[in-house]
């Protein structure tokens, strides 16, 4: 069975129903519970129909077994299966149907609220790298979420995305969701403060961008989870060689 350990943390696939429930509970704490104002009878699990068709990666503290991070993976043989993805619910992704290589969607990435250890994210990317290499995956994609729905609060981050990181035209994600923020259009001529942008950029998205990732020109407003998210893609062949070597060192 897949497993990877580095320092205080280890990563593995969920293997039992209780493993999956632990991931769903962490997702609930991260996406729902942390917002407060939850009904007393709310079921503290974040679950949907995609859980049954995905592989779930758990990052745990080795000494205690405490779950500190999780995410799920949906492999696709190529772009012809893009309509099966969670992202396709929110973005019109017909341009990606022509992608000819294996793809994988990474979703529901979260960490235990209050934890900010960079080693957790580093190990998560090492686990992803091992999975990508084993499956000869050529594109990684998903939805990268900002916590909160006030897009102006993240305007510096969105301005930097619009200026430097929009998707190539050949893969351009188009609007599908009923409520979106067309930030690239709204911020034309408005430069972003790079320091503020990095402070307010989600850590997962920052990692995507340092590897050559790109995003949609609009953000989807997800009122159920209280987030804004952008479609994010990363062509594996575009990762800078030095970064690829560093990831493979963690992946072992």
- Domain presence at residue 54: no
- Domain presence at residue 88: yes
Phi, psi of 129 (to 5 degrees): -60, -40
Q: Map residue 42 onto helix, strand or coil.
A: coil
Q: How confident is the model at residue 220 (pLDDT cuts 50, 70, 90)?
A: very high
Q: How confident is the model at residue 50 (pLDDT cuts 50, 70, 90)?
A: very high
In this structure, are residues 37 and 85 in contact, taking their beta carbons and an 8 Å threshold? no
Phi, psi of 167 (to 5 degrees): -60, 150
Q: Among 2-16, 23-37, 114-128, 184-198, which is the least confidently predicted range?
A: 23-37
Give residue 1's pLDDT: 47
> How far lies 48's CA from each of 65, 73, 75, in Å?
25, 14, 17
- Domain presence at residue 134: yes
How far apart (Å, rounded) are the C-alpha atoms in residues 72 and 70?
7
- Nearest Cα neighbor of 20 from 68, 49, 44, 55 is 55
- Domain presence at residue 8: no
End-to-end CA distance of the chain: 15
Which whole number is the average pLDDT over 115-126?
A: 92
Q: How confident is the model at residue 36 (pLDDT cuts 50, 70, 90)?
A: low
Q: Among 1-15, 141-155, 162-176, 203-217, which is the least confidently predicted range?
A: 1-15
| DSSP designation for 82 | G
**Which residues have C-beta within 8 Å of that of residue 80, sequence separation ≥ 6?**
97
| DSSP designation for 171 | G
In this structure, are residues 251 and 243 in contact, taking their beta carbons and an 8 Å threshold? no
User: For the chain, how many structural domains are there in total?
Assistant: 1
- Domain presence at residue 13: no
Q: How confident is the model at residue 215 (pLDDT cuts 50, 70, 90)?
A: very high
Give residue 195's pLDDT: 92
- Domain presence at residue 139: yes
The whole model's pTM is what? 0.92
- Domain presence at residue 149: yes
Which whole number is the average pLDDT over 190-202?
A: 91
Give the model confidence (pLDDT) of 225-251 as tens digits.
889 999 999 999 999 999 999 989 888
- Domain presence at residue 6: no
Find the domain containing 175 and state its range. 73-251
- Nearest Cα neighbor of 89 from 209, 195, 220, 201 is 220
């Amino acid at each position: 069975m897949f497993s990877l350990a580095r320092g205080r943390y280890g990563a593995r696939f969920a293997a039992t129903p209780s493993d999956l429930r632990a991931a769903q509970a962490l997702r609930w704490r991260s996406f729902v519970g942390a917002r407060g104002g939850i009904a007393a009878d709310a079921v503290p699990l974040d679950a949907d129909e995609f859980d049954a068709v995905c592989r779930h990666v758990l990052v745990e503290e080795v000494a205690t077994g405490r779950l500190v991070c999780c995410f799920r993976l949906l492999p696709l043989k190529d772009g012809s299966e893009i309509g099966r993805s969670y992202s396709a619910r929110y973005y019109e992704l017909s341009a990606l149907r022509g992608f000819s290589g294996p793809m994988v969607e990474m979703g529901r990435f979260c960490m235990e609220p209050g934890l900010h250890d960079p080693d957790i994210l580093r190990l998560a990317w090492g686990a992803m790298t091992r999975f990508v290499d084993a499956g000869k995956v050529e594109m990684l994609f998903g939805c990268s979420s900002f916590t909160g729905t006030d897009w102006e609060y993240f305007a510096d981050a969105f301005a930097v995305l619009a200026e430097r990181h929009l998707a190539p035209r050949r893969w351009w994600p188009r609007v599908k969701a009923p409520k979106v923020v067309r930030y690239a259009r709204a911020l034309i001529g408005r430069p972003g403060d790079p320091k503020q942008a990095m402070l307010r950029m989600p850590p997962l998205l920052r990692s995507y961008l340092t590897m050559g990732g790109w995003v949609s020109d609009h953000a989807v407003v997800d009122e159920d989870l209280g987030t804004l998210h952008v479609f994010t893609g990363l062509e594996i062949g575009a990762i800078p060689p030095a970064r690829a070597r560093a990831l493979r060192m963690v992946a072992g």
